[in-house]
Structure 1
Amino acid sequence: MKNPPAYHHSFQNLQENDLGFEQVFERIVSFMKGDPKGNFRLMVGTDSQVHKTHTLFITGIVIQNKGNGVWACITKMKFPRKMTHLHERISLELSLTEEVVSMFTEERKNELIAVVLPHLYQGATFTMEGHIDIGAGKRNKTSEFVKEMVTRMESMGVEPKIKPNAFVASSYANRYTK
């Protein structure tokens, strides 16, 4: 399933509802401009939860300024059936992450980099990560998918993170799937 079902993206957090991606991007830019010498990590990850009649997917976008706070939001997608096959579910989680990552076009990424660029010598940094809710541990049911999913992330030019470092997928988004 290369292209997940297209749906209207509406983002939300505890402060605001029904944000379009443009507004989300503006929030990220102004968060970064608040401390342009910061160490920023832009992270996108998806988690899912199987319910009786549907499967809920939550994609989180988190911009973290190490040691100086974070701004975050989520978007939800309800899939109209129980998705019991792990590979299918993880693959769709990744497709939804890819979809949101692709909204950060080269132009937009350059706009974010431009915020920290004048301050690189003062230690400012910017990285973008894709968080995948899988682990490579021997006892982990998802370990066999790691290579495939990590490769998909890398091909998008995003640094892949898996458990225990994939906290956007495994804890931030996870909170909203219940």
Structure 2
Amino acid sequence: MEKFQLYNFAFENLSRKNMSFQEVFQHVKSFMEKDRYGNYKLMFGTDSQVHPTYTRFITGIVIQCETKGAWACIRKVIVPRRMNHLHERISYETTLTEEIVGLFTEERKNQLIELILPNIYRGASLTIEGHIDIGSGNKNKTRIFVNEMLARMEALGIEAKIKPEAFVASSYANRYTK
């Protein structure tokens, strides 16, 4: 039972539209229940695209099992203006990812951990990652924001990933920003 009302948190994927966060969490949990010996990664990331009159942000949630594939969904947020300043856009992408990570409360994370806990010594695992659509290469304009955004993800207690490892943001979410 939700203790507070979640606003504007509608999720979708290719097979389902307008899912609540509780439905998303149940899909993640059900996916993990199929193989309690699996090596799981729960990953979050946001990408954006500036359009003529608005900026579209897509946040992806992906639960992946090394041997069993993945389940994923997205959340769309439209800002009704062009967000042309790179720092503002990257910062808002990180904020949207932080919002979704925050929905995975300690209680919910513990429910997921309890699914695999009996099998940890047999190789089962769960890691949680925040994927940020930035890179540290000399030619990458976003490199000056790397430390700031990494610190924000790490403050949430999750493993931060940047390009090229940040595929939930730079690849999965990116597909839906166009």
What band does the TM-score fall into relative to the shorter chain? over 0.9
- Give the superposition deviation at 1:121: 1.3
Q: How does 1:112-123 map to 2 (within 5 A)?
A: 112-123=112-123
Deviation at 1:137, TM superposition (A): 0.5
Shift of 1:19: 0.3
- Partner residue, 1:36: 36
- Aligned residue number for residue 56 of structure 2: 56
Q: Which consecutive residues of structure 1, in runs of 5 or more, have no partner in the other structure? A: 1-5
Shift of 1:67: 2.8
1:160 paired to 2:160: yes
Report what 1:139 is aligned to.
Answer: 139
1:86-125, aligned counterparts within 5 Å?
86-125=86-125
TM-score (norm 1): 0.96
Distance of 1:77 and 1:31 partners within structure 2: 26
Q: Distance in 2 between matches of 1:32 and 1:7?
A: 27
Q: Which residue of 1 aligns with 2:3?
A: none
| TM-score, scaled to structure 2 | 0.96
Aligned mates of 2:159, 2:42 — CA distance in 1: 10
Match for residue 14 of structure 1?
Answer: 14
Deviations 1:99-133 (A, max 9, x none): 00000000000001111101111100000000000
- The alpha-carbon deviation at position 7 of structure 1 amounts to 4.5
The residue type paired with residue 109 of structure 1 is K
CA deviation profile, 1:139-177 (whole Å, cap 9, x unmatched)? 100000000000000000010000000000000000000
Distance in 2 between residues matched to 1:137 and 1:156, nearest whole Å? 25
Give me the identity figure in percent.
Answer: 61
Answering whether residue 71 of structure 2 is matched by residue 67 of structure 1, we say no
Letter in 1 for 2:110: N
Q: Secondary structure at the match of 1:41?
A: strand
Letter in 1 for 2:135: G
Decide whether aligned partners of structure 1 residues 177 and 62 sit closer, same or farther in structure 2, where only a CA change above 3 A counts. same
RMSD of aligned C-alpha atoms?
Answer: 0.9
